[in-house]
Structure 1
Amino acid sequence: MTTLAGETTGQMLWRRLRSPAAWSETVDLFAILTAASLPWSTSLAGIFNALMLLCMVPFLDVREFLQSLKRPICAAPIALVLLALVGTLWSDAAWGARFYAVNPTVKLLVLPVLLYHFARSPRGHWVFVAFLVSCALLSVMSWLVFFHPTLSLKPPDEPNSRGIFVKNYIDQSQEFTLCAVGLSYPIVKLLQQKRVWLAALLAAIALSFFINMAFVVISRTALVTVPIMLAVFGLLHLKWRSVLVIFAALAAIAALTWKTSSTLHNTIETFSVQYELYKDKGIPTSIGLRLEFWRKSLGFFAEAPVFGHGTGSTRGLFEQAATGGPHQASSEVIGNPHNQTLNVAVQWGVVGVIILYTMWAVHFFLFRGDALANWIGLLVVVQNVFTSLFNSHLFDFHEGWMYVLGVGVAGGMVCNSRRTGRSPGEARN
């Protein structure tokens, strides 16, 4: 079979296999597929990510890539992974548990790769478009499952499964929150450009995410962090008068939602109810367990403050500290204290905490600037930092990959703009 130019299909394929530009396009495609599949499937996201990394190998400029690793934005996540590996040497846990605890940190090694690639690719914005469209479709599916629970792939008796098609309500709330607040920047910019209809479309999409969380299901973590993320946007991109008007309108909407949404009302009420049950009777409620985990983790940290107890030691420490009856919060054993700082501090002490906060800080300051990529990257970092007060989201699969993809792609776009002098996301000639 030949093409119109007389070139056989085999020759055309061979030419593409020898083309760095073609491999770069393939890497972009698999990055887009990774972002699109993440809200739906961990397996597909893992497969597409592996293929993306594999397609970078044939024409990778090794010297330039290794040079890029010296930058703090790359060195900090690598240092955290290396600390997890070295931390296996002084841990008392079984070797299987030690290497199992290293695994959640390994995804951070993909960050420097994404930063390197998307500092040279003009298609980073399509990764975010794919994630937004995928989450919008998941929102539609969430409403369908809400009205027809038999469509869900989750067991019907699983707690907080209403309106959840795949995964869980925490992951879904994180996705919807990031998309809804993330759209605030392009909406404001489009309004400034008098592109009202497109701004209205994006506003409707953002509002649909908030309505879903208000009337279907929302995690307490998202409920706490949404106001913080909105405040960050207002302080960075709006005038004080606009901030006051918008927050007054949001307060009115919140009050109306509080009156009409039983889902939101019940979610907020669980804060005080669960705390009282834990405080008075020691019942292992969700909030009570977190308080118990944090209290014990602070004690473990105080025992080994500098280098911690070693990688994978957390579960063994909780087993030794378990007291009380089988249905008491004090008897619960866990390998994750549901706080990113304490998770790191127990295993690797102050050294680990310094590296963790250094990574967050260098990534935060990377996104100084007024462009969409800067805003998305900044929002991803802010969300991860604040939700990690209540979970170990950097080490969790779903939220961890949201951080790696968000910071890696947006960070690469920002680095590209500084190198070329173009706005992040602007296509190259």
Structure 2
Amino acid sequence: MSAILAAEQAARRRVQIRNNMQHPSPPSLGSTAAPVGGRIERIARQTLLLAAFSIPFSTALANLFAGLTLIAFVAALLGDRSLARALRTPAALLALALLALVLVGATWSVAPPDEVQDGMRKYAKLMVLPLALCLCWRAPALPARVLYASLGGCAVLATSLYLVWLDSMPTSSLGWWRVGDMSDPYAFRNHITIGILLSFAACASFLLATYAQGTRARLALLGVGVYFGAPILMGNGRTGYVGLFIGLFALYLLRGRVTFLRSALVAAAMSLLFAGVYMVSPNVKTRMDLLVTEVSQNDATTPNGLRISFMKTGVQAVAARPLLGYGTGSFSEVYAPEAQRIWGASPETARVRHQPHSEPLLLAVQLGVPGVALYFALLGAIGKAALARRDPMADALALLLAIFGLTSLFNSLLWDPTEAYWFLLLAGALYGHCIRQRATAQ
């Protein structure tokens, strides 16, 4: 009797195995049973890491490795369609929807054809987020490696700034990178980009220190954070000062015991700290005093007066055409009459093509309310995923979103190549970690 039962069980197992082979069930999003990918997909992951490392200091290398990642991803996707399953997640859908609106916006743009094409190229970088997401959501270790690769690239950038102050930074005879001096310290990137990238790198290092187990590791990460943060305060970029302030306060909200009184005290303490830096740092004092002077003079020929002019013209343009805006790449054309009024006596200056140094305003002028709605919906989807978990990578995503989202109010960060690549790649990778963890928990 037992032999008969054993034979029946063996027959049922053979039937089950045959059915599974004929009709395999697809891996669920975030499942630890998902395949880790073949050789081509692993190549795409390696080039993604190289892109994350290169972004802080080399546009050419970042473009090269991003392009190679896209090529390898498409090749891997042809062999494994499940790789694209993460495209159904909210952040990926919203990024692609915003890109689609940019492409459709070209049909009603008032800009010249070359500027329409330039606008489409600028926002084509939105593909980086779903690309990084698809490569990271089923590779548990990859999001952290992307973060560390980005911090490694920021270490190259910060070290270059220290070499500038020591008058030891090499220059390129071919003009491949730019180098400042002690009075105007910069290397590879401009002040705005340096400030944004290093403010996140500093605060991310402090964040990782709060998770470190040993005292030595915690002190080492704190030291790394200071190494990243010092060039911001010693440099000339006001965006970096703001980004560092935002990042430190966001770090408190993520890792501290939050109460209204405690938050007020922390904000006051940080304000006093920055006031002290203002008093002792010649660069900080000079830049902030110049900001106050230019704003009070309301002179559109000064850098900060020009920003105010951008804001006024942009708000007026949005009020005139709020539904669909003026089309992709249209801001410089919309601003052209104001530029002619300001610099009529200088034809070369009057013909400069401008953007308003505010991502929401730039999208509103080009694509109206739908463009701005999609932008903030994208940030909201990323933030929702980041706050759903409490671990180092999810907190790093929340920190990234806080710094990028708030500094984008007065900088066109998706329009600018370095900041866009940096944010979209990091956000896609860390978002992949968050949705994987959430799906596994369910």
Is the 1:149–1:163 contact (alpha carbons within 8 Å) kept by the matching residues of 2? no
Q: 1:125 aligns to what?
A: 144
Cα 1:160–1:291 shift into 2, 3 Å: farther
Residue of structure 1 equivalent to 2:309: 292
Describe the SS at the equivalent of 1:393. coil
User: What SS does structure 2 have at the residue aligned with 1:183?
Assistant: helix
1:39-66 Cα offsets, whole Å, 9 max, x none, are: 1110101111111122223332664355
Q: Is the 8 A contact 2:178 2:187 kept in 1?
A: no
Contact conserved, 2:86 with 2:137, CA < 8 A, in 1? Answer: no
Match of 2:88 in 1: 70
Residue ranges of structure 1 left out of the alignment (5+ in a row): 1-18, 423-429
Once residues 407 and 29 of structure 1 are traced to their aligned partners in structure 2, the CA distance between those partners, rounded to angstroms, is 17
TM-aligned CA distance change 1:246 to 1:94, over 3 Å: closer
Task: Report how many residues are paired.
Answer: 395
What one-letter code is carried by the residue in structure 1 that aligns with 2:192?
I
Task: Give the alignment's TM-score, normalised by structure 1.
Answer: 0.84
Q: Please tell me whether the aligned partners of residues 163 and 169 of structure 2 are also in contact (alpha carbons under 8 angstroms).
A: no
CA displacement 1:351-383 (0-9 Å, x = unmatched): 111111111111111111211111121122222
The alpha-carbon deviation at position 27 of structure 1 amounts to 1.9
1:381 and 2:401 are equivalent in the alignment: yes
Task: Give the aligned partner of residue 335 of structure 1.
Answer: 354
- C-alpha change, 1:146 and 1:351, in structure 2 (3 Å) is same
Specify the alignment match of 1:44 in structure 2. Answer: 61
Deviation at 1:21, TM superposition (A): 3.4
Taking the aligned partners of 1:394 and 1:267, their CA distance within structure 2 comes to 25
Matched, 1:24 2:41: yes
TM superposition shift of 1:253: 4.2
Distance (whole Å) between structure 2 residues aligned to residue 245 and residue 187 of structure 1: 22
| CA separation of 1:91 and 1:65: change in aligned 2, threshold 3 A | same
Alignment of 1:43-192 (within 5 A): 43-60=60-77, 63-65=81-83, 67-121=85-139, 122-148=141-167, 151-153=170-172, 162-190=184-212
Match of 2:416 among 375, 381, 396: 396
Quote the offset at 1:170 in angstroms.
Answer: 1.5
Partner of residue 275, structure 1 = 295
Q: Aligned residue for 2:6?
A: none
- C-alpha offsets along residues 311-330 of structure 1, whole Å, 9 cap, x if unaligned? 122222212333144479x9
State the match for 2:320 in structure 1.
303
Distance 1:239 1:218, change over 3 A: farther
**SS at the partner of 2:75?**
coil
> Bigger CA drift: 35-44 or 222-231?
222-231
Aligned equivalents of 1:311, 1:21: Cα separation in 2: 39
SS of alignment partner, residue 323 of structure 2: coil
Change (3 A) 1:64 1:273: same
Say whether the 8 Å CA contact 1:152–1:164 is kept in structure 2: no
Q: Is the 8 A contact 1:146 1:162 kept in 2?
A: no
**Equivalent residue number for residue 11 of structure 1:** none
Deviations 1:94-139 (A, max 9, x none): 2222121111111111211211210111322111112212212321
* Distance in 1 of aligned mates of 2:220 and 2:238: 28
TM-score by length of 2: 0.82
| Runs (5+) with no aligned partner, structure 2 | 1-35
How far apart are the structure 2 equivalents of 1:420 and 1:155? Answer: 46
Q: Match for 2:59: what amino acid?
A: T
Report what 1:14 is aligned to. Answer: none
1:201-350 pair list within 5 angstroms: 201-215=220-234, 217-240=235-258, 250=270, 253-277=273-297, 279=298, 282-321=299-338, 322-326=340-344, 333-350=352-369
Tell me, what secondary structure is at the counterpart of 1:367? helix
Contact map agreement 1:152 1:166 (CA 8 A) in 2? no
Computed over aligned residues only, the root mean square deviation of the Cα atoms, in angstroms, reads: 2.6
**Residue identity matched to 1:291:** I
Structure 2 SS opposite 1:323: helix
Does structure 2 retain, via aligned residues, the 8 Å contact 1:338–1:391? Answer: yes
CA distance in structure 2 between the partners assigned to 1:291 and 1:39 by the alignment: 29
**8 Å contact 2:324–2:366 — kept in the other structure?**
yes
Distance in 2 between residues matched to 1:155 and 1:57, nearest whole Å:
35
> Whose Rg is larger?
2
CA distance, structure 2, for counterparts of residue 134 and residue 324 of structure 1: 40
Is it true that 1:197 corresponds to 2:229 in the alignment? no
Identity between Structure 1 and Structure 2 (%) = 24
- CA drift at 1:155: 6.0
**1:29 Cα offset (Å):** 1.4
CA distance in 2, matches of 1:196, 1:359: 38
Q: d(CA) in 1 for partners of 2:432 and 2:220?
A: 28
Contact residue 194 and residue 240 of structure 2 kept, 8 A: no
